[in-house]
Amino acid sequence: MLPKRYDFKSAESRLYQFWEDNGFFKPTNDPNLPGHDPTVKPYVISIPPPNVTGVLHLGHVLFVTLEDLMIRHQRMKGVPTLWVPGTDHAGIATQLQVEMKLKKEGTSRQEVGRERFLEETWKWKEEHGGRIVEQIRRLGASCDWDRERFTMDDGLSRAVREAFVHLYEKGLIYRGPRLINWSPALQTAVSDLEVEHEEEQGKLYYFKYRLADHPDQYIPVATTRPETILADTAVAVHPEDERFQKYVGRKALVPILDREIPIIADDYVSVEFGTGALKITPGHDPNDYEIGQRHNLEILSMLDKSAHVTEVGGPYQGLDRFDAREKLWADMKAADLVIKEEDYLHQIPRAQRGGEIIEPMISTQWFVDIAPLAEKALKVVQDGEIEIIPERFKKVYYNWLENIHDWCISRQLWWGHRIPVWYCDDCQELTVSREDPSACQSCGSENIRQDPDVLDTWFSSGLWPFSTLGWPDETPDLEYFFPTTMMETGYDILFFWVARMIMFSLEMTGKIPFEIVYLHGLVMDEHGQKMSKSKDNAIDPIDVMNDMGTDAVRFTMLVGSTPGLNTNLSLQKVEANRNFANKIWNAGRFVLGALDTIPAAPETEPNWTLPDSWIWARTQQLIRDTNRLFDNHQYGEAGRYIYDFFWGEYADWYLEIAKNQISEGGDRAFYTVETLIKVLDLCLRLLHPFTPFVTEEIWQHLRDAVLDSPLQDRLPEWPEALMIAPWPESREPEGWEEDKIKDFNLIQEIIRTIRNLRAEKNIKPGKRIPARLVGGDHTKTLQDALKSIIALAALDPDTTSLVPALEQVSPTDIALVAGPVEIYLPLSGLVDLEEEKSRLKSDLEEINQQIQRLEKLLAGPFTQKAPPEVVEKEQDKLNEYLETSRTLQDLLSSLEDQS
Ligand SMILES: [Zn+2]
């Protein structure tokens, strides 16, 4: 017997332990064990490694539950499954955490030095790095924890070295000065991902670029960053802009500095924007850098690494960038070089960590020559070797790879994979090596120094799907589990991560890293707004799990998700899904209780009732729908189907009818309980990937109870746990199913119609009322289900009758219509002929509206787009309505005759 209430708090940790202790998270058909069959294709996911500094947020919850759902589904299908977990060392994020800690202790990174700083960071990682992993376990993640990896563990560090040296030896890695994003506060290059662009109120400054040969004439130019005027090396106009054509080829004078720079023509310039003329600063703007490359312009750097003006700025040297802006502008005003200032909303690049304004700067860094890698990565998606879901993101992927820039991979940090390059103080040559060298490869000198920089975090995560399986070694895991199957991640890191994994994998292993990329959206609040602490709309998943259980959170995230679209989350939804978990629990309790009441053995072969056959046919339909939706990666939709079936059909209808059938005792009770159990078992299997805890808990009780009951001979197949029980496979519909579903739908319609009338007339729920049913061609069907109708519509069994046709209608009866069936309720005193007519008329109107709606739907594109079975369902509905409409019209005219 199940306890009265589902205690998720104790169940969740106990069940997780039970699964893990039994090795259910580990792959079957393990290539490291005897008896391995290499011909069986496994299903493999590598987890997007969360930052080791991370604290669980809803984004984690979404990807962990989605991946767990995929893995549990495949595992139940009998496929060898592997889900590799791990964490990312997260260069800047972690380094800043430790720097903060040192600051509190009154010291700093610089003070303790590199070696001790790294010791501190490793210590910090050991102490805090386990937190995110614990939280992921709480979500029910069925990862193989024996294969957990960290981007800086020994194996993965070796993979990083191998990849770097490989690319270097192929000439695909180089060092040189290029324009990069510079963070003056963090004193490092940062990736585009670490730069946030938010619209902010700024100013557009209009000023005069005087001509060198005619200082009384000028070209008007506008800029948002006047201080960069100090590093301008050209003025550009559009080649077809008639206003400025006469100036092209001449020289202009940089304000205040009076340096001469060329006036050039370039298509990039927009005639409409600003004044139509652009100042070009290749040293401090990515677009200008491109123009500079095209026109061979000089590159000047007017800022140093701490964003103070360099000697390029002449009299402004030494000023902070913002002070320089003010001073220069004031001087220009005094020199009559200013035209005007305007308020201007524009995108300002700020560091994701720290929030200061990022400065595009020329800096000497290490780069990957990305074009040759990008070409191959484009091809595997174009050729369909890798599928991207949803498909519209393919275009985004192509667009990015076709316009890709070389990738700056060096970072001026201490925490990370140190660049494996050593500089020789004697011969100045480089040594690039897989092993730490003790001497220069060129001259043998021992005066060598390793490059102080570390690699961009995305360099190591780009190797993740294969480095976690043992690459560069040819391990049995790599041989069997690679390429992996599914890369499930957020669409926001399609470039930063997914594309880089594809490029690296093709280059390093010659294989694609995964077959399918499934992109989920972002998690928003209930109004579709981004969650943030400042807006006070952030939801802490741990709090919600503590309050309402992990299954409720999982189910809410999963049914709310559609590939590529954002998910709006509200606590009300989680609460509703906690109620769903309780609904499953209560249904389980009822079924287990009923099992105790059945006779030891049936006397006859089963004689199924219409409701028995209906629920079984609908279960088969549900299995087909679920499998079709899973095959199309419509996991959320599948969850909604199962939810609706379980709540709306199994619990609300079949369970109620079963109570009545069980009360008959004997074989009827025996076979009813068998049906209850079979359907519950299948539902628990279908629900398990969504809500693993509550389903496993009920299933364990169900399993034990059935194996200890008279049903054990008829239902003997119960594996050790639901999580390894076989997934319900679809079978072809059998001929009888559709008829039974239609028949039962009619019964439901009759019951609903009577219930509505009862509600309308305020008849107390317990009061049994008489009825006369006129079944016509459906009399036999009604006869088979009469007991259910009587029970669920609360009819009086002694005064309820069923006839094929009625000779005369009593004018004092209330007449109702359900499809082809007429129902007469002799409720004298409650009936008013005029009221009756107007009620029937309004029913008829409503039905006719439904008919119009469906006719319109079925005449439209829906018929081509929706799956045939869905279209058929709507067609059936229409036919039913048409029938009801006809019967209503007949009734109305007979009432008209009477009055
Ligand atoms: Zn040397």
CA gap 286, 361 in Å, rounded: 9
Considering only residues 118 and 186, tell me which one the structure prediction assigns the higher pLDDT. Answer: 118
Distance 858 CA to ligand 1 centre (A): 80
Stretch 464-468: mean pLDDT, rounded? 97
Lowest mean pLDDT among 138-147, 433-442, 444-453, 566-575: 566-575
In this structure, the dihedral spanned by the alpha carbons of residues 294, 300, 303 and 309, taken in order and rounded to 10 degrees, is -140
State whether the Cα torsion 657-663-664-670 is positive or negative: positive
Q: Determine the pLDDT at residue 599.
A: 84
Distance 175 CA to ligand 1 centre (A): 18
Q: Determine the pLDDT at residue 493.
A: 84
CA gap 348, 241 in Å, rounded: 29
Q: Which two tokens stand for residue 527?
A: 């109004």
Distance 862 CA to ligand 1 centre (A): 73
Q: Determine the pLDDT at residue 802.
A: 92
Q: Determine the pLDDT at residue 372.
A: 94
Helix/strand/coil for 574: helix
Distance 169 CA to ligand 1 centre (A): 18
Q: Determine the pLDDT at residue 898.
A: 62
Per DSSP (E only), the strands in 329-467 are: 338-351, 359-368, 387-389, 407-408, 410-411, 421-424, 430-432, 448-450, 454-455
In whole numbers, what is the pLDDT of the chain averaged over residues?
91
Q: What is the pLDDT of residues 294-308, one digit of tens each?
A: 999 999 999 998 999
Q: For residue 496, what pLDDT band results from cuts at 50, 70 and 90?
A: confident
CA gap 639, 647 in Å, rounded: 12
Q: Determine the pLDDT at residue 832.
A: 67
Distance 170 CA to ligand 1 centre (A): 22
Q: Determine the pLDDT at residue 403.
A: 86
- In the Cβ-directed half-sphere of 789, how many Cα atoms lie within 13 Å? 31
Distance 178 CA to ligand 1 centre (A): 26
Q: What is the pLDDT of residues 207-216, one digit of tens each?
A: 999 999 998 9
Distance 439 CA to ligand 1 centre (A): 8
Q: Determine the pLDDT at residue 532.
A: 67
Distance 441 CA to ligand 1 centre (A): 7
Distance 428 CA to ligand 1 centre (A): 6
Q: For residue 453, what pLDDT band results from cuts at 50, 70 and 90?
A: very high
Distance 409 CA to ligand 1 centre (A): 25
Q: Determine the pLDDT at residue 392.
A: 92
CA gap 563, 390 in Å, rounded: 6
Bridge partners of residue 771, in order along the sequence: 800
**Angle CA 193–519–575, to nearest 5:** 105
Q: Is the model's pLDDT at 700 over the cut of 90?
A: yes
Give how far Cα 50 sits from Cα of 102, 240, 250, 485, Å.
Answer: 24, 51, 55, 20
**Angle CA 846–847–848, to nearest 5:** 90
Distance 451 CA to ligand 1 centre (A): 15
Q: Determine the pLDDT at residue 589.
A: 95
Pairing relationship of beta strands 260-265 and 234-237 according to DSSP bridges: parallel
Question: Which residues have CB atoms below 5 A from the ion given as ligand 1?
Answer: 424, 426-427, 429, 440, 442-443, 445
Pairing relationship of beta strands 86-87 and 769-774 according to DSSP bridges: unpaired
- Kindly state the percentage of the chain with pLDDT values over 90: 67
Q: For residue 566, what pLDDT band results from cuts at 50, 70 and 90?
A: confident
Distance 565 CA to ligand 1 centre (A): 55
Bridge partners of residue 520, in order along the sequence: 490
Phi, psi of 169 (to 5 degrees): -65, -30
Distance 25 CA to ligand 1 centre (A): 52
Q: Is the model's pLDDT at 884 over the cut of 90?
A: no
Contacts of 798 (CB under 8 A, 6+ apart): none
Which residue matches tokens 């480089």?
Answer: 430
Distance 442 CA to ligand 1 centre (A): 5
Q: Is the model's pLDDT at 349 over the cut of 60?
A: yes
Distance 351 CA to ligand 1 centre (A): 39
Phi, psi of 772 (to 5 degrees): -120, 120
Q: Is the model's pLDDT at 899 over the cut of 60?
A: no
Phi, psi of 109 (to 5 degrees): -55, -45
Distance 670 CA to ligand 1 centre (A): 88
Distance 431 CA to ligand 1 centre (A): 8
Do residues 823 and 794 make contact, with C-beta atoms less than 8 angstroms apart?
Answer: no
Stretch 479-483: mean pLDDT, rounded? 96
Q: Determine the pLDDT at residue 296.
A: 93
DSSP 22-62: TTTTSPSS-TTSTT--TTSPPEEEE--PPBTT----HHHHH
Stretch 650-662: mean pLDDT, rounded? 94
Distance 447 CA to ligand 1 centre (A): 8
For the whole model, what pTM was predicted? 0.84
Q: Determine the pLDDT at residue 179.
A: 87
Q: Determine the pLDDT at residue 868.
A: 85
Distance 449 CA to ligand 1 centre (A): 11
Q: Is the model's pLDDT at 445 over the cut of 70?
A: yes
Lowest mean pLDDT among 36-45, 166-175, 545-554, 760-769: 760-769
Closest to 612 measured CA to CA, from 690, 664, 689? 664
Q: Determine the pLDDT at residue 436.
A: 94
